[in-house]
């Protein structure tokens, strides 16, 4: 029974992490679209709630 509980908890944690990663990817895609529309990194950071440094690295690497 304990094994089933551990497995269920692990599956919940994996699902939660997957959702979090998906949301982050959506924010990044949205941030890139905003940048292409002429928004500043400061504006994009405020809108997407992504850090300025993360956005700066993202923009420099694309």
Q: How many Å apart are CA 58 and CA 2, to the nearest integer?
A: 43
Of 61, 26, 17, whose CA–CA distance to 47 is shortest? 26
Coil, helix or strand at residue 46: helix
User: Is residue 47 within 8 Å of 39, Cβ to Cβ?
Assistant: yes
Domain limits of the chain? 2-60
Band of pLDDT at residue 60, cut at 50, 70 and 90 = confident
Q: What is the pLDDT of residues 18-56, one digit of tens each?
A: 999 999 999 999 999 999 999 999 999 999 999 999 999
Band of pLDDT at residue 1, cut at 50, 70 and 90 = low
């Amino acid at each position: 029974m304990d094994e089933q509980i551990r497995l269920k908890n692990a599956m919940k944690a994996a699902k939660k992490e997957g959702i979090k990663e998906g949301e982050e990817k959506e924010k990044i895609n949205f941030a890139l679209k905003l940048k292409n529309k002429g928004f500043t990194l400061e504006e994009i950071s405020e809108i997407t709630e992504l850090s300025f440094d993360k956005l700066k690295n993202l923009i420099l690497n694309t």
